[in-house]
């Protein structure tokens, strides 16, 4: 195994909650990782998403800190300090400067936002929008179910159904979309405390306002995700996520089972492709 400073970079496009599962797994396995994000990420599972570093400068998930950098040249020092560097770079221009061994597109946009096989010796795409053997070398399945985390070497992932996976008997009811456009406004509960991630809510309860319009909870459960206060929301944007399982109140700030399964697929894809091509990632 190479000294970490000598290992090649693995660039991860995106740092939302699902991407964070992959970033965290790769970091813990010893890969040298740089996360690339957009300037205004709209993650709702903020307590389990490294993209919060865009807003806060740094954030910690499961004991690992991700720190925003202003230019690619700062990445090595942050990595050497034991943290994960994150750069605002929507076009992945850093790929030309860093000469990464691999690029993983974890934006989860349900379409390809510019990732191509010329970006690095190994390219991996998560979910629908990519075709293995064409625009990327491998695709990792992101649909909940038997195929979740599967590595696809030829072809595409299951097409987007537009329906969230079933949890506790609920699918589309779990996800709340903005009823209007405007800044996200937090509201107090019965005790006067602002409702935020981790709150136990009941169906019909107001959990926030957007442009002055109340946002009601769609079911009883744990508020697992809520877009950050003040975010300029557009009507229809996903702004909240309720988990009907009350025991999940303790897991709002940790990587999900789905993210961990996807992360395992990414590790498999990277190591198998590196072995085939004679590349040393570690």
Secondary structure of 74-87 as H, E, C letters: HHHHHHHCCCEEEE
Going by C-alpha positions, the residue among 71, 77, 82 that lies closest to residue 36 is 71
- What pLDDT, on the 0 to 100 scale, is given for residue 162? 72
Element (H, E) at 58: strand 58-61
Contact 16, 41 (CB under 8 A): yes
Site of tokens 């399964």 = 261
Q: Read off the pTM.
A: 0.94
Strand extents, DSSP E, 89-234 = 102-105, 122-126, 131-132, 138-140, 151-152, 155-156, 175-177, 182-185, 200-201, 206-210, 213-216, 221-226, 232-233
- What pLDDT, on the 0 to 100 scale, is given for residue 246? 86
Contact 210, 228 (CB under 8 A): no
- What pLDDT, on the 0 to 100 scale, is given for residue 3? 86
pLDDT, mean of each 10-residue run, the chain (282 residues): 88 98 98 98 96 98 98 97 97 95 96 95 97 97 96 94 68 89 95 94 96 94 96 96 90 96 98 96 94
Rounded Cα gap, residues 220 and 242, in angstroms: 8
Going from the C-alpha of 215 to that of each of 57, 102, 106, 146, 205, the distances in angstroms are 29, 41, 29, 34, 8
Q: Which residues contact residue 82 at a Cβ distance below 8 angstroms, ignoring those fewer than 6 apart?
A: none
- What pLDDT, on the 0 to 100 scale, is given for residue 78? 98
Going by C-alpha positions, the residue among 133, 151, 131 that lies closest to residue 261 is 151
- What pLDDT, on the 0 to 100 scale, is given for residue 160? 82
Rounded Cα gap, residues 265 and 188, in angstroms: 41
């Amino acid at each position: 195994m190479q000294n970490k400073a000598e290992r090649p970079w693995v660039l991860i496009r995106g740092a939302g909650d699902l991407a964070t599962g992959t970033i965290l797994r790769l970091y813990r396995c010893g890969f040298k990782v740089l996360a690339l994000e957009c300037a205004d990420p709209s993650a709702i599972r903020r307590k389990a998403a490294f993209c919060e570093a865009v807003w806060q400068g740094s954030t910690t998930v499961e004991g690992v800190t991700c720190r925003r950098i202003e230019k690619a040249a700062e990445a090595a020092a942050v990595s050497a300090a034991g943290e994960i560097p994150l750069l605002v770079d929507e076009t992945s221009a850093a790929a030309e400067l860093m000469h990464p061994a691999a690029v993983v597109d974890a934006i989860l946009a349900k379409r390809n936002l510019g990732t191509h096989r010329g970006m690095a010796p190994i390219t991996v795409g998560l979910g629908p929008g990519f075709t293995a053997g064409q625009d990327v070398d491998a695709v990792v399945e992101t649909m909940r179910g038997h195929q979740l985390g599967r590595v696809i070497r030829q072809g595409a992932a299951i097409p987007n159904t537009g329906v969230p996976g079933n949890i506790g008997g609920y699918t589309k009811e779990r996800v709340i979309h903005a009823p209007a456009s405007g800044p996200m406004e937090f509201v107090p509960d019965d005790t006067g405390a602002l409702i935020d991630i981790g709150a136990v809510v009941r169906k019909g309860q107001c959990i926030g306002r957007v442009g002055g319009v109340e946002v009601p909870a769609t079911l009883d459960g744990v508020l697992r995700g809520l877009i950050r206060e003040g975010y300029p929301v557009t009507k229809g944007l996903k702004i909240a996520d309720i988990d009907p399982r009350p025991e999940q109140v303790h897991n709002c700030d940790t990587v999900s089972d789905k993210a961990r399964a996807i992360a395992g697929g990414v590790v498999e894809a990277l190591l198998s492709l590196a072995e085939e091509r004679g590349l040393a990632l570690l």
